[in-house]
Amino acid sequence: MPDDPYRFHARGLDSPATRHVAITPSDSADLPVRPRVIYCHAAGNVLIRDEMGVNLTYTLVQGQILPVSATRVLATGTTATVYGWL
């Protein structure tokens, strides 16, 4: 593993992500880990649920970052390929 010169610094919400995960949309299961943000790998729509249970659809372009910590990415209505940054 490469040396991390920032390993002794406190990490905040504005710090860069240190992990990434593929997101498999599901109408019945929450994400196993809530991401800091959602990154769009392939353009399309993404239907997300927030912690209050509100579902909203966002139209994303490739490379766009959606700064929301979603609890679920629903399969129905999602056409984009997205990753989570943690």
Residues contacting 5, CB < 8 A, separation 6+: none
pLDDT computed for residue 14 by the predictor: 80
For the cut 90, the answer to whether the pLDDT of residue 46 exceeds it is: yes
pLDDT tens column, 6-43 = 788 888 878 888 899 999 999 999 999 999 999 999 99
One-character DSSP codes across 17-44: PS-EEE----SS---SS--SEEEEEE-E
Report, as an integer, the average pLDDT of 33-58.
Answer: 97
* Minimum mean pLDDT range among 12-16, 60-64, 65-69, 76-80: 12-16
